[in-house]
Amino acid sequence: MDIFGFKSKKGEHDDNILQHWISPVDGFNHPPLEFYEAVKRELATKKIPQLDMSYVEFAEGGMFSEKRVYLRLMRERLTIDICAAPFGNLYFFSCRTLFVPPVIELWHLLLVGGLFFGFYLILVNYLGVTFAGIAFVTFLAAITQVLRNAMSMGLYQLDTFLVKLAGIGPIYELWFRKETYYRHDTRMLYLSIVPQVVQKLAEEVTAAKGVKLTQQFQRAPILGELYKALPPKTGPEQP
């Protein structure tokens, strides 16, 4: 699976899946793009920072099989793929959450090293060896401080750009980007809000056509346990 410019070696499989919610519906049909646009509008009201939304296509089977359009939501390295599609006489909604961890490879280091070496040669050409060395060390110290404090300095667009930058993104995340309680908390909120929105809208569009969304399945986020049916929703418990 191609995320952040890199392809998972195992493809569209469960190796990176954190959680997966799916609900089949009988006797129902709905334009997928119309559902996706409703999800986008609802999430826009939440104003989730650093959230990118786009459409992607996945083949149903092999290379020449029909493709299905998914709505992809990306925030940092957490990707949520949403699907609404017919399946035989059924229709289903699904919401799949994936995490692609940053991995530093040799070519990343060679790329960054080459960029810095090229910059140093430019400085030498204009300043000479001695002053170029001083300027280069000063530049490294300054850029290190900026990278380590990009979020606290309010440079959110720079942070988002660096995370997605091929080759440099993994180095920035693993060596410079600080982990905080706030970042962990906001990730958990993101992983909670989006599936809730998808499920709520799925229930609304089916209810509008007189169909009740009852049977739902979800995969446990740990240890890859088998899918288990969730009990249908009931009214609030009586005291």
Summary mean pLDDT of the chain: 82
Among 108, 76, 78, CA closest to 177: 76
Closest residue by Cα to residue 71 from 109, 105, 33, 41: 33
Residue 7 has pLDDT above 50, yes or no: no
119 C-beta neighbours (distance < 10 Å), count: 15
Residues 133, 197, single domain; the answer is: no
Decide: residue 66, CB within 10 A, 0-12 exposed, 13-18 middle, 19+ buried. exposed
* pLDDT computed for residue 194 by the predictor: 93
Looking at the structure, tell me whether residues 85 and 16 fall in a common domain.
yes
Same domain, 23 and 110: no
- Report the pLDDT value the prediction gives residue 228, as an integer from 0 to 100: 53
Q: Could you report the per-residue pLDDT of 90-130, keeping only the tens digit for each?
A: 899 999 999 888 888 999 999 999 999 999 999 999 999 99
Report percent pLDDT > 70 for the chain: 81
C-alpha 111/C-alpha 40 separation (Å) is 37
> Do residue 115 and residue 79 come from a single domain?
no
**123 plus 205 within the same structural domain:** no
Write the pLDDT tens digit of every residue in 167-226.
Answer: 888 888 888 887 788 888 988 999 899 999 999 999 999 999 888 887 677 765 544 444
Domain with 116 in it: 106-176
CB proximity list for 56: less than 8 A, separation 6 or greater: 69, 70, 72, 81
